[in-house]
Homo-oligomer: A and B are copies of this chain.
Amino acid sequence: MNVEHDTRTRILSTARELFHGRSYADVGIKEICDLAKVQKGSFYHFFPSKQDLALAVIDDMADDWAHGFVAEAFDQNLPPLERLDYMIDAAYYWQKAAKDIEGRMPGCLFGNLALEISTRDDVLRAKLNAVFDKASRRFHEALDQAVELGEIPPLDSEATAAAMLAFLEGIILLAKTRNNPEVIRDLGPAIKTLRIELAHPN
């Protein structure tokens, strides 16, 4: 039982690493199998297709996020606005560590995949959409709490949350293009200045 799952897990984590570090199209199944020390036939025993593998990889990474530093960043005990700084910091240190080890910034797996395949694969696009929605909800919640505590004036918290997520993805994109994680630290703090006012009720 442990052995069976081990093969699947090895495939999953290898694929995740390769997809993140390069791209979906650029990584072949053979390469994944070789690195994971799995035979091709075994691969297709666990995953019906490359698309299914991608779906599983997205789920895997999203789970790790949700239980990892995202859970820490959006800890309910942290003051709402500090969670934003925490999130930026986490992104920075993660990307910096990756660059220090491999020499290049992988960026955000979800953002990478989204831009690469969302015009070609609606299933994967929908999956990534759901991941972004969930992330957006974290920002949303933090903003609502900040308003409740009187830390910021009322605002369109749902739209602002989406804008913050977009900004986060944007600075990671720019940092990756510059291959310089410091971009995240330099621009990131501006996330707290983003504001979308509530629409006029009349």
Chain A 9-51 interface residues, beta-carbon cutoff 8 Å to B = 21-23, 25-26
B176 pairs with A22, CB closer than 8 A: no
Asked if A112 is at the interface of the complex by the 8 Å CB criterion, the answer is yes
A116–B125 touching, CB < 8 Å: no
The reply to whether B189 and A132 form a contact with Cβ atoms under 8 Å apart is: no
A106 contacts chain B at the CB level, 8 A cutoff: yes
Q: Contacts of A66 on B, CB cut-off 8 Å?
A: none
List residues of chain B with CB within 8 A of the CB of A90.
Answer: none
Look across to chain B and name the residue whose beta carbon is closest to the beta carbon of A178: B129
Is A23 within 8 A of B190, CB to CB? Answer: no
* Residue with the highest number of chain B CB atoms closer than 10 Å, among A160, A166, A186, A193: A166
**A159 and B187 form a contact (CB under 8 A):** yes
| Given known contacts A167-B170, A195-B190, A176 and B115 CB-to-CB distance under 8 angstroms | yes
**Interface size on A (CB < 8 Å)?**
48
Q: Complex Cα distance A168/B194, Å?
A: 13
Contacting residues, chain B, for A163 (C-beta < 8 A) = 167, 171, 187, 190
Q: In whole Å, how far is A182's beta carbon from the nearest beta carbon of chain B?
A: 11
Query: Does the CB pair A190–B196 fall under 8 Å?
Result: yes
CB-CB < 8 A to A174: which residues of B? 132, 162, 165-166, 169
Report whether B23 and A120 are in contact in the complex, using a CB–CB cutoff of 8 Å: yes
Nearest CB in chain B to that of A105: its residue: B119
Which residue of B is nearest A114, CB measured? B177
- Asked whether A186 lies within 8 Å of B166 as measured between CB atoms, the reply is no
Residues of B within 8 A of A132 (CB): 174, 177-178
Q: Which of A162, A177, A195 has the most CB of B within 10 A?
A: A177
Q: A23-B25, A112-B116, A190-B194 provided; 17 other pairs, C-beta below 8 A? A: A23-B120, A26-B120, A104-B118, A107-B119, A112-B115, A115-B116, A115-B173, A125-B179, A129-B177, A159-B186, A163-B171, A166-B173, A170-B173, A189-B196, A190-B195, A193-B194, A194-B194
